[in-house]
Amino acid sequence: MREEFTRISRWIPTFGKFHPSSRVVTPGLFGLLAVLLSGCMTNQYNFFNYVNPNGTDMYFKVPNNWSDFGPSMVFSSGKQKITPSQLALLESGEWANVFYGQRKASLTAITGIFSAHPFGIVQATKLTPAQHDTFSLSSLRTLLLPVDPLSKTNATSGASYSASSYSEFVTKSGMRGSKMVVRVKESAGTTSVLDQVAEVDATTNWVYLIGVGCSAACYSQNRTVINEIVNSWSVRSK
């Protein structure tokens, strides 16, 4: 069933498949059983709480004048809308939420971090046994990017990826994570910025991330709100 729903835009990631030249990405390695996603509105932000099957909570907030796209919209392909039963089947192994810094935006028109408005994705993954065996901190850095921005070979297909800031952390529950801001420069000279935080749990079974970015000019203009969103994101593991 999963192969029937080709992901609709270049920004929907599989591991290492987020790239400006990729207009369509097929379903891949990201997955999570969606149990609960609830939003509660304030004057400025919508707050979201997601709980996975093992009881881990993921929280984040999005400005309430932005467009927000839940899993049923993310996993529909073009004019083909996913049915409730198909969504339930997909959600047994995959979950994602996308948001965009423009009211009443069209999901199919969004071009990820190459947009003129802030783009964000919150996603979570249950790793396969093979991924569990090979997952590393470098893997966290390539969840949304085709290359590791800290590696010597940090360019591909005419674009270069460089981390302007990077840090690693370990939470009290043993989750390992990293936070980075990456500048993506295309061969045409245009530059975009991605702000990402990602964590893998102590047993290397689940991965969680948030990524927010847009063109360099947009990022500079919206840095405060982007920081608010990224800093609001948290994962609380039992």
Give the pLDDT confidence of 73-93 residue by residue, as tens digits: 777 756 677 787 876 666 655
> What's the pLDDT score for residue 29?
31
Tally the C-alpha atoms within 13 A of residue 155's C-alpha that lie toward its C-beta. 6
Q: Which amino acid is at 96?
A: A
Helices (H), the chain: 71-74, 84-90, 129-134, 137-141, 216-221, 223-232
Give the pLDDT confidence of 96-114 residue by residue, as tens digits: 789 999 998 888 778 888 8
> What's the pLDDT score for residue 109?
78
Q: What is the dihedral of CA 153, 122, 172, 205, to 10 degrees?
A: -70
Reply yes or no on whether the pLDDT at 215 is more than 80.
Answer: yes
> What's the pLDDT score for residue 164?
96
Reply yes or no on whether the pLDDT at 206 is more than 70.
Answer: yes
Give the pLDDT confidence of 4-18 residue by residue, as tens digits: 222 223 334 433 333
> What's the pLDDT score for residue 32?
32
> What's the pLDDT score for residue 20?
34
Reply yes or no on whether the pLDDT at 27 is more than 60.
Answer: no
Whole-number percent of the chain with pLDDT over 70: 76
Question: 22 lies in which domain range?
Answer: 2-236
The model carries a pTM of: 0.81
> What's the pLDDT score for residue 39?
47
The stretch 64-76 carries a mean pLDDT of 83
> What's the pLDDT score for residue 110?
83
The whole-angstrom separation of Cα 216 and Cα 191 is 6
**Contact partners, residue 109, CB within 8 Å, separation at least 6:** none
Give the pLDDT confidence of 109-150 residue by residue, as tens digits: 788 888 899 999 998 888 889 999 999 999 999 999 989 999
> What's the pLDDT score for residue 112?
84
Question: How long, in residues, is the chain?
Answer: 238
Q: Which residue in this structure is represented by tokens 């029937």?
A: 4
Q: What is the CATH number of the domain that holds 80?
A: 3.40.1000.10
Domain count, the chain: 1
